[in-house]
Amino acid sequence: MDSINRQSSIVNPKSEILLAIDTCTRRSSVALRDLTMIRAECAWETERHHTAGVSEQIRRLMRTANIRPADIGAVAVAIGPGSFTGVRCGLAIAKGLALARNLPLIGVTAFDVIAAAQPNHHVPVYALVEAGRGRVAARRYEWREGVLSVADDWRIQSWSAFAESVEPPAWVCGDLTPTLESLLEMRAAVAPAPLNVRRAGYLAEIGYARWLSGAVDNAMTLMPIYPPEA
């Protein structure tokens, strides 16, 4: 079965809210978006309490924005890479909501969420996600006719190996460390702190565009992506 379902009519005006969930690493984020704006958003460090923490944040944001469960019309979720527990928890929550209420589900990589926040500097962009064990997952993007597009497959490297692989000029963003910044030195420009947070608001933006176009995933077959163990 194809994991992508194309539908001609997606958004129900009575349930136009999209819920976005990102729990790929210890930094989690959730957001609620309607047809025109982000209604509520929160990002925080969860450590090992993804399920309880994310569920409570979703309920809190819905109360704050005066959004009822019946108003949710679709769910977008970051599918990795990241920690095994984190990715699994976020996807489980998203799938549970989608299957229980027959909602469209949209899976987005953590790389795409980071990349979506970056300004156009007309240089390649490297989006990073921490992979544990002193490693980083990296994906390279290039600007093509003003649109940031995936340039190659993502890969796992040590921080030092990644720094050596960067081809200047470049823009590096995502899960950075002071050590990596010093390793990069003059090889690349480093995104400022606000652009290094995987905000669920950007996940919601990607998800809403796909929802409107009908490019939604099959909730039964959508799979996470994890860094290799070795």
- Walk along the chain (230 residues) in steps of 10 and give the mean pLDDT of each run: 44 79 93 96 79 87 96 97 91 96 97 97 95 91 95 94 95 93 90 96 98 96 81
Q: What is the pLDDT of residue 179?
A: 87
Q: Where in the chain is the domain with CATH 3.30.420.40?
A: 4-110+198-217, 118-196
CB 148 within 8 A of CB 165: no
Quote the pTM value. Answer: 0.91
Phi and psi dihedrals of 104, rounded to 5? -60, 140
How many CB atoms are closer than 10 A to CB 168?
11
At position 200, the amino acid (one-letter code) is A
Backbone angles phi, psi at 168, to 5 degrees: -70, 150
Name the packing angle between helices 50-64 and 84-101 (round to 10°): 50
With left for phi above 0 and alpha for psi between -120 and 50, is residue 80 left, alpha or beta? left
Return the CATH number of the domain spanning residue range 118-196.
Answer: 3.30.420.40
Give the whole-angstrom CA distance, residue 125 versus residue 134: 21
CA angle 182, 78, 96 (to 5 degrees): 150
User: What is the structure's pLDDT at 7?
Assistant: 44
User: DSSP strand E in the chain: where?
Assistant: 4-5, 17-22, 27-33, 38-45, 72-78, 105-108, 125-132, 135-144, 147-150, 155-158, 171-174, 189-190, 216-217
pLDDT of residue 50: 60
> Locate tokens 């002071």: which residue?
178
How many other β-carbons are positioned within 10 Å of the β-carbon of residue 65?
Answer: 15
The domain made up of 4-110+198-217 has a fold known as: Nucleotidyltransferase; domain 5 (3.30.420)
Roughly how many angstroms between the first and final C-alpha of the chain, as a whole number?
31
The pLDDT assigned to 13 comes to 52
Query: Which residue, 64, 73, 125, is CA-closest to 97?
Result: 73
Per-residue pLDDT, 204: 98
